[in-house]
Amino acid sequence: MGRMLALRDALREAMSEEMRRDDTVFLMGEEVAEYNGAYKVSKGMLDEFGSKRVIDTPIAELGFAGIGVGAAMNGLRPIIEFMTWNFAVLAFDQIVNNAAKTLSQSAGQFKCPIVFRGPTGSAGQLAQQHSQTFESWMANVPGLKVISCVDPADAKGLLKSAIRDDDPVCVMESELLYGHTGEVPDGEYLVPIGVAAVRRHGTDVTLVSFNKMMLPTLEAADILASEGISAEVIDLRTIRPLDARTVIESVKKTNRIVVIDESWPFAGVSAEVAYVVQKHAFDYLDAPVTRINAADTSLGYAPTFVEEYLPNAGKIVRAVKEVMYMRY
Amino acid sequence: MVARKKKTDSAPAHPKERYLYWYELMLRIRRFEERALVMYGQQKIRGFCHVYIGQEAVAAGIESAIRREDCIVTAYRQHGTALGRGVTSREAMAELFGKATGIVKGKGGSMHFFSAKHRYFGGNGIVGAQIPIGTGIAFAEKYKGTDNLCVTMFGDGAARQGALHESFNMAMAWKLPVLYIVENNGYAMGTSVSRTSNVVELYKLGASYDMPSEPVDGMNPEAVHEAVSRAAEYIRAGNGPYFLEVRTYRYKGHSVSDPAKYRTKEEVEAYKERDPIKLIESIIRDKEIATEQELQAIRDLIKEEIDDCVRFAEESPWPDPSELYTDNYVQADYPFIRD
């Protein structure tokens, strides 16, 4: 049995359950305590856990990310919330140069069990600086793990796994989808990092996506089904390590693949998926690997720009018909 | 050499063991670094290499004033700090050679020594990035309810990074047990302190955050010890952070590849007149704290130790190439991309 929960509530349950279980877990970030979270993910947590463990910071991403890294090296398990990953850019030095490298530099003497989390991607007409995705940036770095998932049940289980993980984990959420609901199982459960989910089984084409783009991808699968095309839909859930096997096995069955990825196209997640597929399923492909990304531009403010910039169901359906050599 | 007889009236300010500890540690660091430079010249050591020669009194004065269970984190001019923590000359020299027996198995080299058992958090190569990390280490000590502190060291160049201000601000707001120490050796690589800011007395940076701050003579381990002792007592009492500007000098260039043409010979010579090892040697002699034989025994010990650590490094094996894939993740079966 389960309950219908919004993404924000599922994420809060994950953090609260882990904080009840382990005294060394704490939450730190801008507006997480007294304001109850910029997006209400941490609502009520200050009341339950107190100001020692739910900590409001000044606006100083580099500083509090680094404090998290030091605390993690010294025996604690910090959850560092960024109001958005766009602001985390100020903290990339600590994530990339320290969190990711401490274990290697110290030859295994200092681990860094830390979670960096916050929303990523576009969220309406927020213009250039507030609309970016960072999965491919972080996933490029050995030493880090990257989760990007908006299904409430899976996001909860993955965040719990991330908090228990002894390696640093970047968790990418979605500002637009914090209210997105789904059935969340009752009781204790974990979702393993590094395993994709097949959301819909199909035989004609494989659609691979993650995070917010899962919604137009599933919508496209419905449209395709109504036209007699059976799409298999894979939610990567984890970006690093990438569950290549699930993707490859699906392509071996469908012989066609379209990757839907809100990142920019150059060296994005879609590029890595395309590499893996051509390398390991080359002889099974009946059409070139095709991808739908955000436009290779900065995102301007006007609604017409947003519509043009983002992948949507119509663009996905067109791409599927292209790889199936159908008229559209 | 005839032993000087110039006993001054005043009694030594510190116990004999402390003077001999300072003398031995500073001599160990000096001889280790001198030998490292020779080995670099022979290409036994590669990459970047920043030596601590001239700054030995800082490591010595800190270590005699804090506890073994306190933490230290510093930047990349760090061989001396690590030796002060108790990392052995063998582990340190083998690391410089890149050998499997090094303190981090040949994975860090000159900039990245770490030693969990000595509570030594590195060895950090990004200028100023260790300032928030040290603040976080202190945060964890407070969280766990200990009375340990974290000595967070950085150079005068790092004092110009934004990370310093973010850290100072949060450490004061949360009263964290952190002792910030800037080793002001006058130059951020080739750029003098006076060329990088209107504020050249670095301890004054603490004033913006109402952090107790003071300058210290970094060429004298007695002065460093006394300042660090006062600061540590203040911090352990739960009062929050403290900031010391330790004024020191590096005799060599920023790194082995720096001829240091941005400063005068006279300036370097003036500092060498105030050499911390000579200073402690003369105090020991003048105040008859120890005999010439005792000092000679320490010099012999260090000479043998440094010869030995080079032999050890030479004879040690390289790390196996497969070690490239260890210590990237704690997860033992992490699926690296290896196609």
* Paired strand residues for B308: none
Query: Which of B170, B172, B323 should we substitute to test contact with A (largest number of A Cβ atoms within 10 Å)?
Result: B170
Query: What does the domain layout of chain B look like in residue ranges?
Result: 16-315
Q: B325 in contact with A at a CB cutoff of 8 Å?
A: no
| Backbone φ, ψ for residue B308 (5° rounding) | -65, -40
Classify each residue of A249-267 as buried b or exposed e, where b means 16 or more C-beta atoms within 10 Å of its C-beta: ebbeebbbbbbbbbbbeee
Q: B241 in contact with A at a CB cutoff of 8 Å?
A: no
Instruction: Say whether B166 and A105 touch across the interface (CB within 8 A).
Output: no
| Backbone φ, ψ for residue A136 (5° rounding) | -70, -30
CA distance A97 to chain B (A): 8
Instruction: Say whether B139 and A62 touch across the interface (CB within 8 A).
Output: no
The mean of the pLDDT values for chain A is 97
Instruction: Say whether B330 and A97 touch across the interface (CB within 8 A).
Output: no
A-chain residue closest to B111, CA distance: A105
- Collect all residues of chain A within an 8 Å Cβ-Cβ radius of residue B335: 194, 241
Q: Are A59 and A83 in contact (CB under 8 A)?
A: no
- Collect all residues of chain B within an 8 Å Cβ-Cβ radius of residue A97: 125-126, 129
Per-residue model confidence as pLDDT tens digits over B231-258: 999 999 999 999 999 999 999 998 988 9
Whether B6 has a pLDDT exceeding 60, the answer reads no
Per-residue model confidence as pLDDT tens digits over B161-195: 999 999 999 999 999 999 999 999 999 999 999 99
Residue appearing with tokens 């952070």? B241
Q: Among B140-154, B202-216, B247-261, B271-285, where is mean pLDDT lowest?
A: B247-261
What is d(CA B26, CA B83) in angstroms, rounded to the nearest whole number?
Answer: 10
Q: Are B88 and B25 in contact (CB under 8 A)?
A: no
Terminal-to-terminal C-alpha distance of chain B: 68
Q: B109 in contact with A at a CB cutoff of 8 Å?
A: no
pLDDT of residue A327: 78
Amino acid at B119: R
Instruction: Say whether A69 and B136 touch across the interface (CB within 8 A).
Output: yes
A-chain residue closest to B113, CA distance: A106
What is d(CA A293, CA A9) in angstroms, rounded to the nearest whole number?
Answer: 29
Q: Tell me the percentage of chain B whose pLDDT exceeds 70.
A: 97
Sorting pLDDT into bands at 50, 70 and 90, what band is B9?
A: low
How much of chain A is in helix, strand and coil states, percent to nearest 5? 40, 20, 40
pLDDT tens, N- to C-terminus, chain A (328 residues):
799 999 999 999 999 999 999 999 999 999 999 999 999 999 999 999 999 999 999 999 999 999 999 999 999 999 999 999 999 999 999 999 999 999 999 999 999 999 999 999 999 999 999 999 999 999 999 999 999 999 999 999 999 999 999 999 999 999 999 999 999 999 999 999 999 999 999 999 999 999 999 999 999 999 999 999 999 999 999 999 999 999 999 999 999 999 999 999 999 999 999 999 999 999 999 999 999 999 999 999 999 999 999 999 999 999 999 999 997 6
What is d(CA A145, CA B29) in angstroms, rounded to the nearest whole number?
Answer: 39
Pairing of strands A231-235, A197-200: antiparallel
Sorting pLDDT into bands at 50, 70 and 90, what band is B324?
A: very high
Instruction: Say whether B329 and A108 touch across the interface (CB within 8 A).
Output: no
In the predicted model, what is the mean pLDDT of residues B196-224?
97
For residue B136, give Cα distances in angstroms to A297, A321, B170, B256. Answer: 38, 53, 10, 32
Pairing of strands B187-188, B191-192: antiparallel
Per-residue model confidence as pLDDT tens digits over B74-133: 999 999 999 999 999 999 999 999 999 999 999 999 999 999 999 999 999 999 999 999
pLDDT of residue A104: 98
Whether B19 has a pLDDT exceeding 60, the answer reads yes
Three-state secondary structure string covering chain B = CCCCCCCCCCCCCCCHHHHHHHHHHHHHHHHHHHHHHHHHHCCCCCCCCCCCCCCHHHHHHHHHHCCCCCEEEECCCCHHHHHHHCCCHHHHHHHHHCCCCCCCCCCCHHHCCCEHHHCEEEECCCCCCHHHHHHHHHHHHHHHCCCCCEEEEEECCHHHCHHHHHHHHHHHHCCCCEEEEEEECCEECCEEHHHCCCCCCHHHHHHHHCCCEEEEECCCHHHHHHHHHHHHHHHHHHHCCEEEEEECCCCCCCCCCCCCCCCCHHHHHHHHCCCHHHHHHHHHHHCCCCCHHHHHHHHHHHHHHHHHHHHHHHHCCCCCHHHHHCCCCCCCCCCCCCC
Of B112, B136, B162, the CB nearest to A71: B136
A-chain residue closest to B73, CA distance: A70
Which SS3 state, helix, strand or coil, does residue A184 take?
strand
What is d(CA B222, CA B219) in angstroms, rounded to the nearest whole number?
Answer: 9
Q: B334 in contact with A at a CB cutoff of 8 Å?
A: yes
CA distance B23 to chain A (A): 29
The tokens for B305 are: 């130790």
Pairing of strands B71-74, B120-123: parallel
Which SS3 state, helix, strand or coil, does residue A3 take?
strand
Query: Which of A30, A52, A55, A67 should we substitute to test contact with B (largest number of B Cβ atoms within 10 Å)?
Result: A67
Top-level CATH class of B16-315?
A: alpha beta
Instruction: Say whether A106 and B71 touch across the interface (CB within 8 A).
Output: no
Structural domains for chain A:
2-185 (3.40.50.970), 197-323 (3.40.50.920)
Q: B87 in contact with A at a CB cutoff of 8 Å?
A: no
Per-residue model confidence as pLDDT tens digits over B277-323: 999 999 999 999 999 999 999 999 999 999 999 999 999 999 999 99
- Collect all residues of chain B within an 8 Å Cβ-Cβ radius of residue A136: none
pLDDT of residue B1: 44
Q: Tell me the percentage of chain A whose pLDDT exceeds 90.
A: 99
pLDDT of residue A100: 98
Tell me how crowded residue B31 is: count the other CB atoms within 10 A of its CB: 20
Whether A130 is catalytic is yes
In total, the C-beta contacts within 8 angstroms joining chain A to chain B are 151
What is d(CA B201, CA B194) in angstroms, rounded to the nearest whole number?
Answer: 9
Whether A322 is catalytic is no
In this prediction the pTM is 0.96
CA distance A6 to chain B (A): 31
